[in-house]
Amino acid sequence: MTETPKQALLDAEPTAGRRMQKVADIKKLYLISNSIRQNVIRMLHKAKSGHPAGAIGLADIFTALYFNVMNHDPKDPEWQGRDRLVLSNGHVCPVLYAALAETGYFPKEELMTLRQLGSRLQGHPHRGALPGVENSSGPLGQGLSVAVGMALVGKRERKNWKVYCVCSDGEHDEGQAWEAALLASKYKLGNLVMIMDRNNIQIDGFTEEVMPLEPLGEKYRAFGWHVIEVDGHNIERIISACEEAKKVIDRPVMIIAHTIPGKDVSFMDFIVEWHGKPPGDGEMDRALDSLGTERKFYGDE
């Protein structure tokens, strides 16, 4: 007899009741995301290489995930009951590293070793090198396949944790992304939530000029996914979208998060060249000034 999704959910192991302390204060969450943006700027300036625009644009999403949405334990990174976060577009790893450090997985001082010889903070994440990193990533378009594999194991073993996969829009030029989307739908992976950074840029220009992707929402619905579209800088809305996703148990969920690459850094906003150009000395100062001004908006002096 085929088990229904509801039966599988009821039979699953109970929630372990152990997680990162939830931050509910929205102003505090925005201050955290601002700190993450500032650290991304400092890291890339020190490294003199890397990808600022996408990393900065994802700060609100990573803040929501690590400080409100996901079950995880910085003191025990390999805790079996944790939710898994798969980063598919590995070049934006500075935002992952900054979020992990902000959460307490490793000292913030280590952020300044990004891309240095012997550093644990490689230019693309490497599983096993740094606590909290769930997957190695570099080749684009592969992260969803990794996430699908994890979700399949979780469903088969009736685990209560979820898999969150952060990907880029430009990755959808890769056929493998769509193959993984089909497989996730086939196996009705209700424990899989994919968050697409819909920032409309990639290294060669704007996505709709390089390879038109729209209508993305309709495509994923046609593939059998539950689709939610959000402002990727509205932390309340990101959290509510993830809460909605938790209630979907019979299919995977795609959250299309519309973001601004280089958000809150005035001279980077939607400028394609900042996809892969690190800030120089003066540019770092201007960026930190811009972010400092934004910080005061949330009441921080």
pLDDT digits (tens, 9 = 90+) for 192-208: 999 999 989 887 888 88
Q: How confident is the model at residue 25 (pLDDT cuts 50, 70, 90)?
A: very high
pLDDT band at 271 (very low <50, low <70, confident <90, very high): confident
Pick from 265, 261, 257: which is nearest to 294 by CA?
265
Residue 14, in any domain of the structure: no
- Please check whether residue 5 lies inside any domain of the structure: no
pLDDT per residue over 68-77, tens digit each?
Answer: 999 999 999 9
Q: How many domains does the chain have?
A: 1
13 within domain boundaries: no
> Angle, to 10 degrees, between the axis of helix 26-47 and the axis of helix 93-103?
120
Whether 4 is covered by a domain: the verdict is: no
The pLDDT of residue 8 is above 70:
no
Does the pTM surpass 0.85? The reply is: yes
The amino acid sitting at 248 is: V
Q: Which amino acid is at 2?
A: T
Token representation of residue 207: 């996505």
User: What CATH code is carried by the domain that includes residue 48?
Assistant: 3.40.50.970
Which structural domain, as residue segments, surrounds residue 44? 22-297
CA distance 132 to 85: 9
Confidence (pLDDT) at 205: 80
For residue 11, being part of any structural domain is answered with: no
118: left (phi over 0), alpha (psi -120 to 50) or beta: left
The answer to whether residue 124 sits within a structural domain is yes
Residue 35 domain-assigned (yes or no): yes
Strand partners, 253: 193, 226
- Residue 258 in this model has a pLDDT that exceeds 60: yes
Residue 2 lies in a domain: no
Distance CA 292, CA 35 (A): 9
